[in-house]
Structure 1
Amino acid sequence: MTFRLASAAALVALLFSSCASDSDLKVLSKSSASRYSSGTYTTGGASAQTGHYTTAQPSAAVVQSVAGHSKDKHGMPFYKASERTRLVRTTAYTCSEDDHIEYGSMNAAGTPLRYTNRVRSAAADWAVYPLGTVFRIKGMNQLFIVDDYGSALTGTSTVDIYTPSKAHMGAWGRRNVELTVVQWGSYARSAEVLSKRTHFPHCAQMYAAINRMTSGQSASTASR
């Protein structure tokens, strides 16, 4: 585990990338992603043009483990931090979508979105997956790092995977994957960023959720 964490820390500092050009494609919002069917669990090479993504089917044990967990509005489970391997609903986005285009190739942390053969960006509710969380998806070689968020993700356990074009976004579609947290990010850093953006409802919601969570942890520690 020490080796894996050290590797993750080294990899998240690698290579940045910006959006690919696909101006011939219609601009889609995140809400339009539902028109795509769930991603197929396939094997084989990746296509640079269409963004073929290979993910492995979640194990039966992970699927069965969701029983007894509280669920979000999509019926997907919330987990304890100690449960690092989990069944997660994923969607995809790109920086040329109409609800992201004003931010260009920058993420919510103020750094370039990442899409390399080793490290890729992802968005999530920072009260669920705090800024800097590193994870793997079963069947893929890359590490993913949570450095972005989205209003549609707030209050859910969904993870939005960054892709470099709308063609790639469509190829990912919406799929349930087996996700393993390699290293947790920082709630303190998440709160610091969000505290300056509470005029946005989704940021205020995440900020309040993080404060409730950290206050509860502090109270629990003090009572011991």
Structure 2
Amino acid sequence: MRRAQLRILLSAALAAIGALLLSSCGTTTTTASRRLPAYEAPMAKSDFQTVRTTAYTHTEADHVQYSNRNALGGRLRAATAGLRRAAYAARALPADSDSASDYRRASLSGASLDSYLTPQKKKVTRWVRTKRGRKKVTTTVLVRPTIGSAAADWSRWPAGTTFRLLSTGQIYKVDDYGWALSGRNTIDLYMGSRGDMNTWGVRSEPIQILRWGAPEASLQVLQGRQGYKHIRRMVLQLEGQHATAAALE
């Protein structure tokens, strides 16, 4: 009798664990019934844009299953403080052009990405112990900015697109995407903590595109993931099927 009861209890426990794993991973049925966000017409491609920005972190409920990994398999990184300010004029490109050459032409104008990543001198003050007590010592070190992770619709900002927030000078690179970003002119900035995420909130930010990612490379990554509607919408846009993408719910 005891063995039978143990088998029943063990089966019940395994069933409960299985149900928990399925619910935490998010099944196809759940995502299939979820509606996509309202579609927005793409913004004009230009060296400078004013974009709606939000913030996220890896401890949010919808990102916990991915830990601190981005859509390309790398680690999510928070941007460090910027070092330089913008110093050249914007040049708009046609909004209705789907040619990858538009991205390349935009990326070749203005300052290069490397010029913003050159290590800069920074003074660091610290206390050291001496025979007479403590002494304040100031030294000069070279600091290279850390490029932060950003999530976006890859048909609007292809993976690898690198940009700078003009308000802070911080540099971000698109390496992630999200359900709420598909078909939207929104960029989600990765923050290292919930506190930083909440502090950022929602802001309309002027950004400077330092380097555009390749639409072809983004399409290649996304084509094998079209079981999810938000990815299917990005693929349709990258293929030039904007009306179909807009109608997808």
TM-score in terms of structure 1 length? 0.59
Is the counterpart of residue 196 in structure 1 residue 224 in structure 2? yes
Shift of 1:193: 1.1
Inter-partner Cα distance in structure 1 for 2:206 and 2:57: 22
Inter-partner Cα distance in structure 1 for 2:39 and 2:186: 9
Residue of structure 2 aligned with 1:163, choices 164, 168, 191? 191
Write out aligned runs for 1:139-158 (5 A): 139-158=167-186
Shift of 1:202: 0.4
Residue of structure 2 aligned with 1:79, choices 8, 32, 43? 43
Residue of structure 2 aligned with 1:95, choices 58, 67, 70? 58
Shift of 1:175: 0.6
Is the counterpart of residue 128 in structure 1 residue 156 in structure 2? yes
Shift of 1:80: 2.5
1:74–1:199 CA distance, 2 compared to 1 (3 A)? closer
Is the counterpart of residue 109 in structure 1 residue 72 in structure 2? yes
Residue of structure 1 aligned with 2:211, choices 183, 186, 192? 183
Contact 2:53 2:187 in 1 (8 A): yes
1:190 aligned partner, one-letter code: S
Deviations 1:32-91 (A, max 9, x none): xxxxxxxxxxxxxxxxxxxxxxxxxxxxxxxxxxxxxxxx9598x74332x221111000
Identity, in percent, stands at 37
Query: 1:177 is paired with a residue of what secondary structure?
Result: strand
Shift of 1:141: 2.5
Unmatched 5+ residue regions in structure 1?
1-71, 214-224
Query: 1:107 is paired with a residue of what secondary structure?
Result: coil
Inter-partner Cα distance in structure 2 for 1:86 and 1:142: 15
Deviations 1:127-158 (A, max 9, x none): 10000000011122221100000010011110
Query: 1:212 is paired with a residue of what secondary structure?
Result: coil
Unmatched 5+ residue regions in structure 2?
1-36, 81-144, 242-249
Structure 1: 4+ residue segments shifted above 3 A: 72-75
1:111 aligned partner, one-letter code: G
